[in-house]
Structures are given as C-alpha cells and as structure tokens.
Amino acid sequence: MRVVAGRLGGRRLASPSSAVTRPTSDRVRESLFAALGPIDGAVVLDLFSGSGALAIEALSRGAASAVLVERDRGAAKVIATNLQALGLLEPQARLVCSTARRALEHAVQASDAYDLIFLDPPYRQPAMLGDDAAMLIETILAPDARVVTESDRRQPFELDFPMIDERRYGDTLIRIHKP
C-alpha cells in the first residue's frame, strides 16, 4: 500500500495485520479523491482509521490537518509508525485511541468543526456508531462539509444525509454525502 498522490505520493504505508482491519486500496483511494476534488486547507476527521491511509492521503493532497481515530491498539501503533515515517506530526496529524462514538462525542463537546469526515467501519459492523450518528456528525460539520462512507456493497453504511455520489469497486461501496 502506498500514498497515491500529492506531496507524499509514492511513499509506502504499513498496514495492520489484523483480519478486522481492511485498508482502502490504492485504486479506491485514487478514485475517491478524484471525486472529492481539491481539498486544500481541509480539516479532516478519519473515524475507524485502520492504517491511516485515508487521512494520510488527504494530508498529502493539501488538507491542513487530520484527526485519526482508531480503537484497536495494534492498528493505532501502525498508524503512529506511518505518521512518524512520513513526518506527519501534531498538530497537523493527531492520533486518538478511542472508539468512533467517544471521539464524536468529544468533538461535539469541544465544538470542533470538520470539512471532511471519513467513516469506514469494519464491514461486518456498519451500524456500530448507533442510530444518532448523523446527529452527532451534523453538529461538527463545517459549512460545505462532506462525509464519505465506505462499506460492503451488500451491507451499505446508511447515513441520513443527502448523497451526492456513489461508486462501487468490487465489494466496496463508497458514498459521498453533503449534509
């Protein structure tokens, strides 16, 4: 796995060895970021970060900062290794070892605002944020923000926001929402 484009393009990324973690492929990331267009200066939240590939790709392509949330300690160590190897340190990139739900609740309490949110939960657990995920997410969105979900096409991650794009890559379903 590698960073596809931007200032870090071509750099290799480590990937967690866990069967639960499923990094977004280079091909899917390339297509996703082409669909998103310019993200210069964006503030990014990457929930269920896994290897950190989505947030790292965003930073490589001009995002101002990213918060990477991962609850699995093994995966979090891989993310920390990737960030260190690429020179992506705080405050530009911040790793949070927490559940996605707790991270969202903390972001709401801190009045954080994000331009781009990635939601890529384990494929077998798409509803693990709870029914009020959209409400929590809505309170931390900056104006003109977008939310990207990645899920298994047979079990789509349902988010109660207007969808502006949907793409399928084998079993992977990417949806871009603009609340």
pTM of the model: 0.93
Q: How confident is the model at residue 160 (pLDDT cuts 50, 70, 90)?
A: confident
CATH code of 26-177, in short, is 3.40.50.150
Condensed to tens digits (0 to 9), the pLDDT of residues 23-75 reads: 788 899 999 999 999 999 999 999 999 999 999 999 999 999 999 999 999 99
pLDDT of residue 168: 95
Report the C-alpha gap between 92 and 84 in whole angstroms. 12
pLDDT of residue 19: 55
- Contacts of 106 by beta carbon, 8 Å cutoff, 6+ apart: 98
In the chain, % helix, strand, coil (3-state, to 5) comes to 25, 30, 45
For the chain, give the mean pLDDT.
Answer: 91
Q: Where are the domains of the chain?
A: 26-177
Statement: residue 130 has pLDDT above 90: no
Q: Which residue has the tokens 């709870």?
A: 130
Share of the chain above pLDDT 70, in %: 92
Statement: residue 16 has pLDDT above 60: yes
Closest by CA position to 33, among listed 2, 5, 12, 9: 5
